């Protein structure tokens, strides 16, 4: 079958039932594609210099009017979102034989630095910061740092992946969404770490006891009579709590709240008792 006959058949089918072809206008074929990096409204597209298509943030776009079979198309960018440096079109020029869904619009976001200060590190090594999948080792003696730049309107969350041996490093102002200027107020504070632990009574062979202190969590083995949380930095608060009780037991914490001084804390006690049958 010749291509001209195929096009005529498709045109006739759409003419007899336009609603089945989707869209509006006198054409028969859809014109659209995928969006990459469009995180904010403001993108405007045109086809063959025609009416503007306002494209919201998302991953897909489609012109409202169908285009005729064998029609030429030329999709261009008229305006870009305020958080983008540029937006580029791929596969935007051609001639329509079937629905066109292979056009790509890729926007490159404006980027800004996330940086801050490091205190208490001294000559210690082993401090590694992360933001998403980006890792940044901090050299000994450093008092400042800068992560890889972050795109506007993109969230960031700087955390400590590893602290140097004997130190506990924490982050202040490390979470937010990048706006239109650099972020330079993130603070990394490293302090000498001390042990935080104590005793457990009444656990027996029960399993499922979980303890937490801030974001730190440990699962206690059955039969345990002692426990140790991750180290806590000097002058940092601690609050040891029961996250989950073993089945059939209720566990409580004594001496679990305080501020770490210059010595280890070993007097926290966990007491578990059987829950009375209903």
Count of structural domains within the chain: 3
Residues 16 and 105 in one domain: yes
Note the pTM of the prediction, 2 decimals.
0.76
User: Given the structure tokens 């958080």, which residue do they identify?
Assistant: 83
- List the CATH number of the domain containing 172: 2.60.40
Residue 223 sits in the same domain as residue 253: yes
- pLDDT digits over 16-33, tens only? 333 333 455 578 999 999
CB-based contact 190:234 (threshold 8 Å): no
Domain that holds residue 198: 194-274
CATH code assigned at 233:
2.60.40.2610
Listed residues 146, 168, 192: the one ending a domain: 192
Mean of pLDDT values over 143-166: 96
Output the average pLDDT for the chain.
91
């Amino acid at each position: 079958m010749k291509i001209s006959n195929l096009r005529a058949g498709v045109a006739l089918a759409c003419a007899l039932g336009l609603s089945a072809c989707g869209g509006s206008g006198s054409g028969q074929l859809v014109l659209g594609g995928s969006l990459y990096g469009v995180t904010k409204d403001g993108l405007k597209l045109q086809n063959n210099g025609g009416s503007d298509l306002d494209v919201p943030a998302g991953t897909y776009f489609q012109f409202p009017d169908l285009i005729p079979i064998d029609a030429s198309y030329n999709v261009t960018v008229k305006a870009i979102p305020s958080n983008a440096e540029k937006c580029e079109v791929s596969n935007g020029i051609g001639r329509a034989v079937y629905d066109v869904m292979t056009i790509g619009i890729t926007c490159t976001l404006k980027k800004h630095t996330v940086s801050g200060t490091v205190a208490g590190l001294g000559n210690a090594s082993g401090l590694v910061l992360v933001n998403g999948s980006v890792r940044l080792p901090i050299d000994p003696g450093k008092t400042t740092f800068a992560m890889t730049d972050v795109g506007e309107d993109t969230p960031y969350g700087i955390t400590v992946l590893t602290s140097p041996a004997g130190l506990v490093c924490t982050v202040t102002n490390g979470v937010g969404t990048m706006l239109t200027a650099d972020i330079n107020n993130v603070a990394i504070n490293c302090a000498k770490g001390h042990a935080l632990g104590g005793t457990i009574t009444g656990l027996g062979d029960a399993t499922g006891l979980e303890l937490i202190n801030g974001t730190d969590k440990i699962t206690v083995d059955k039969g345990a009579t002692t426990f140790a949380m991750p180290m806590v930095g000097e002058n940092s608060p601690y609050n040891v709590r029961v996250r989950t009780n073993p089945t059939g037991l209720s566990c409580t914490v004594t001496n679990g709240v305080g501020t770490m001084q210059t010595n280890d804390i070993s007097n926290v006690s966990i007491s578990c008792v059987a829950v009375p049958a209903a």
